[in-house]
Amino acid sequence: MPLLALPFPMIDPVILEVGPFAIRWYALAYIAGIILAWRYMRLLVTRDRLWDASPRPTPLDLDDFVVWATLGIILGGRLGYVVFYNPAYYLSHPLEIPAVWTGGMSFHGGFLGTVFAMVLFAHRRGLSLWRLFDLAGAAAPIGLFFGRLANFINSELWGRPTDVPWAIVFPNGGPEPRHPSQLYEAGLEGVVLFAVLALLVWRLGKLRSPGFLAGAFVCGYGLARSFVEFYRVPDAQIGYLSGFLTMGMLLSLPMILTGIAVMVWSSRRKP
């Protein structure tokens, strides 16, 4: 082992196993992220000073929405991984597509699935779609934080070889010390992005500008993900698309541009 490399903390990905049933950190991360994001959204809608006089979702609306969002995240995340990252394999093994417990989830797919769920839910309830987008955007980094920690525990999505003092030798990543890119993502997509959005919500009152928080989240995630892609090893079945370009960067570029456009539109929109 190189002198400056840190040993990988051998945390068993399975918390508890009873016969064929197993509770994994990965599943627990999704559950914790969804529950905490839901509670944060409920907190936001109860703070009148953060909003203008236009209608907004109620806590009861959000209690029902969490089921729709969960389905959007799981179904969209899995289908996104199948379509974006490994279509050839799953065309040959279609019965494995529902096997989410084997790993393989795409944030971009989960994002699209959640957007689709929000569109349907807002239409069904007669809610403002932009209000729902803003609430979900403000809370989404919570789930991203826990999800990236679970990626680290699973020793997956690790980074490129490096000699930085905090490099880690992953058990399935060969003998080279590597960037802990999952922790980079947990910090940027989770902690930093949540802090920026919280500042926009609690200090700058951006929930009074429908769409601004949603645009800020989409743009912020795209920027954070694109930055970390320089340190993360792309999926083996895809590799680099061209030069340093990865699939993660390619999928994040439209998010950055869309997020900027939405923020500009929201800022110029009349109350």
Say if residue 160 carries a ligand binding annotation. Answer: no
Domain count, the chain: 1
Q: Is residue 1 part of a domain?
A: no
SS3 51: coil
Residue 1: predicted pLDDT: 46
Rounded Cα–Cα distance for residues 229 and 220 (Å)? 14
DSSP class of residue 157 equals S
Contact 171, 165 (CB under 8 A): no
Q: Is residue 162 part of a domain?
A: yes
Q: Is residue 255 part of a domain?
A: yes
Residues facing 17 on adjacent strands: 22
Q: Is residue 151 part of a domain?
A: yes
Write the CB contacts of 2 (distance below 8 Å, at least 6 apart in sequence).
163, 167, 169, 176, 177
Q: What is the pTM of this model?
A: 0.89
Q: Is residue 55 part of a domain?
A: yes
Structural domain harbouring 174: 6-268
Rounded Cα–Cα distance for residues 75 and 78 (Å)? 5
Residue 4: predicted pLDDT: 64
Nearest Cα residue to 114 out of 214, 247, 258: 214
φ/ψ (deg, to 5) at 161: -60, 140
Q: Is residue 97 part of a domain?
A: yes
**Mean pLDDT in each 10-residue stretch from start to end of the chain (271 residues)?**
72 80 85 95 96 93 95 90 85 82 78 94 95 96 95 92 93 92 97 98 96 97 96 84 88 95 93 66
φ/ψ (deg, to 5) at 187: -70, -45
User: Residue with structure tokens 């920026």?
Assistant: 196
Residue 103: predicted pLDDT: 66
Q: Is residue 261 part of a domain?
A: yes
Q: Is residue 50 part of a domain?
A: yes
